[in-house]
Amino acid sequence: MTDLSAYSFEKLHEDHEYVVNRGTQGDAATSVLLMEVALERPLQSTVDRILHAYSLAGELDPAWAVRPLALLEHRGHPALLLYDPGGTYLDDALRASPSLPARVRLAIASARALGRFTPGG
């Protein structure tokens, strides 16, 4: 079981299903992400997506994907402890990059990352 009490968490992203926090320890040289359900009573499909994301851990390369490190129970629900590569959420990057060339560069980088993922292969 992973002890989260040693981490200091800062909210990075929240939507109607999930909250993602960045957790740092002491010197903050390394950090992790904690993805948890946003609601006290989440839909089963929300919980199922967390479980599915964890099931892909062995197929994801941290060079291009946020890789799950552990499946935890947090506040009575499954949560994911994730490798933290740094960076920002794509929707935040799009809001910060209104120019067409910047958006095209983001689209190309996203397509390259997705092109590296081949489930089961």
| Domain boundary assignment for the chain | 1-87, 88-121
Q: What is the pTM of this model?
A: 0.76
Residue 99's nearest CA partner among 110, 111, 107 is: 107
Residue 117: the pLDDT is 66
Q: Is the pLDDT of residue 120 over 60?
A: no
Residue 51: the pLDDT is 94
What architecture is domain 1-87? 2-Layer Sandwich (3.30)
